[in-house]
Amino acid sequence: MNQKSNRLEVLDGLRGLAIIFVVLNHIDGTKIIANTPSWMRFFVDSLFGSGGMGVAILFVLCGFLMAYLYPAPKRYTAFLQKRYTRIFPLFISMSIVMFVLRLFPYLHPIIDLAILFFVSYVTHLIWAKIVQKQKNQNVGKIIFFSFLIFQGLTLLWYLYVIVKVPSSIFYQILSPQIREFTVFIVNTTLTLPFGNYVPMLDGVYWSLASEVLFYILYPVLFVPITTYVQKMKKIEQILFMISFIPFFVGITLISTKILGLGMLQLYLFIFFVTGITLGVLYRTQSSLLKQLNTLLKVRYITIGITFFWIVLLFLTRWIDLQTAGVYHMWVYVVVAIPITFGVATLLEGEYALVRFLKTRAMIFLGTISYSLYLCHIFVVNISKKIYIPHNGLDNVLTVAITVSCAVGLAYVLNKLLEQPYFESKNSIQVGTKITVNKSYSNRGFIILLTLYIFSLLFAFRPPFSFFSSQSPHSTNNIISPKLPTYPPIINLALIPDILFRFNASKNNLGIVTMDLKYKYNTSVESNIKENAIPKLTFKIKESGSSAWHAESSVFPVEVGSNSQLPFGFQPISASKGKNYDVSLHLENGSTRETLWLKTSPTVMQSYYFPDKKEILKNPFLFIKEKWIFIFAQNEVQQVILFGSPIFFISLFSLIRQNRKIRA
């Protein structure tokens, strides 16, 4: 075994350690923590809450191996086919199993296991005995492209059919067959992030969706950028890497405004980036790693590095417990640097932790880590069916048995569904020749900047049309009932009639929205007759008029968790400067089906459609108004601030390199 492959064994062991962190994160260890001495409690709690640390390490290793093994894939489709072939056979099998158990949640644990083994063995027969025996690369290509097409069709179904349906209708009105079919195909194709209420069959699927997105982007975005950055001076490279920290916070803020992309937790992509950086340094035998290797020969430094890893474990747990929102993202993004440094010490050092990670047990866990990642929730759910621990000792035994069973099951799945991939992986020729076009590399950041700006505009545009404008209205616009102060939310079952009055700021008033949320509470007795159906009615008219301009009704169940529910009507062309009354009435309001109106920071929004003649007459004024509206938002200003450093550094380096070429 050569020196490099021997060194990379430590990464298998590290992957095994990371997957144990993830498994422990999903096992209930509350009884163990409660019975632990107070001085050790936070350490034990950190072990059972170390899932974030585990995912971070796995993402770093993923980025490292891509940069080390595939510095520049020559064939994009072959690269993607190889990644899909690695991921999806086992993943689809587990999705089928989890879906069946979702349909039949009260089966005996032995039947659960029988279903798992049956599905896995059938997949093995199809994969190893039929597909692989064909000895024809075209068969694999046909399967790969068929799945890509199916993935695309599922995405269109999700975006243009299911997402258009309010969540309450999805869960309560759509037929169970359509609902469950949607849950299954959306999970199986990992298109979950393009919506926001179809449930995950397994709580770990979000990270797999992030990994697949990384593989899709790696050859077309990360490789050109990596190639370009290697041409930078060292100081530019350092500043560029630092600028990634606010950049990923910025794109995460954008993603939370687009469909369900917040599920991807894009700020964690910094771990892929730092992993790629380490992979490039290791592949090119960087002098930095050689200097690190020299330092790690000092005994006291290696002791300090071992302590450093323990501190990282505590730190990631503290981040999960003590930070939230933007601060959570900032801290996690910064932590990517020390975690990647820790991985670098494992590659270059030969201290106690390295020797531990190179043991046969840890390398074995790393080898079956993907199977363990996907099947451990299945085992945890079965253990909960069988026995709930009552004290600390019970909990220790339950954890030990659960982990052991998960490892055993992962080994079987690895043999059935992963080994066929490793036996045939060389049949898909990716190629690793550096063929990145120089001009494409230089334009990589222009493409990235364009995508960043368009994503920003799309995420923070007016909700109905880029051309529409809006005006917010507060509780000062409520004329009935008059209260000294209004609560943050109003229960319409208690206050069923509310009258608003506002002044239209523009012509072509066409939509009014209110922040309404519906909740069905089965634990409360209904106060209305069984055949009485609650109905919410909206009306609008010009103040002083005897006739209502428009009226529409919805059932509370159709409101769901919708924020800013729209009420549309025939646009009022000459609305500017006039006062309008809006009536909201809940008929047959129920204590069981509650409908809440949020009053802060705004109780209502009015929307105005543009006059096309005015736009054509003065387009620049209109564009100016749109830009002012978008960039006046605090979140937009933060996103611009966070993204600016990386683009300024890139622009400076691009200008310097072009001048050097001309000279």
Residue-wise pLDDT for 431-455, tens only, equals: 554 444 455 455 566 777 777 888 8
What DSSP element (H or E) covers 71? none
The first and second tokens of residue 254, run together, are 């954008």
Q: What's the confidence (pLDDT) of residue 435?
A: 46
Spatial distance between the Cα atoms of 289 and 296, rounded to a whole number of angstroms: 10
Ramachandran assignment for 325, one of left (phi > 0), alpha (psi -120 to 50 degrees), beta (any other): left
Q: What's the confidence (pLDDT) of residue 445?
A: 67
Strands of the sheet with 550-554, listed across from one edge: 478-480, 497-503, 579-587, 535-542, 550-554
- SS3 string, 89-144, reads HHHHHHHHHHHHHHHCCCCCHHHHHHHHHHHHHHHHHHHHHHHHHHCCHHHHHHHH
Q: How many helices (H) and strands (E) does the chain have?
A: 26, 12
Query: Could you say which residues of the chain have pLDDT below 70?
Result: 1-7, 130-137, 164-174, 196, 259-260, 423-445, 464-466, 521-532, 560-563, 591-592, 660-663
Spatial distance between the Cα atoms of 243 and 234, rounded to a whole number of angstroms: 14
Q: Is the pTM of this model over 0.85?
A: no
Question: Which of 3, 12, 27, 6 shows the shortest CA–CA distance to 400?
Answer: 27
Spatial distance between the Cα atoms of 281 and 481, rounded to a whole number of angstroms: 68
- Domains belonging to the chain, first-starting first, are 3-423+433-459 (no CATH), 469-523+533-610 (2.60.120)
Assess contact for 314 and 47: CB atoms under 8 A. Answer: no
What DSSP element (H or E) covers 569? strand 565-572
The first and second tokens of residue 639, run together, are 């996103």
Q: What's the confidence (pLDDT) of residue 430?
A: 57
Pairing relation of β-strands 550-554 and 604-608? Answer: unpaired
Q: What's the confidence (pLDDT) of residue 322?
A: 83
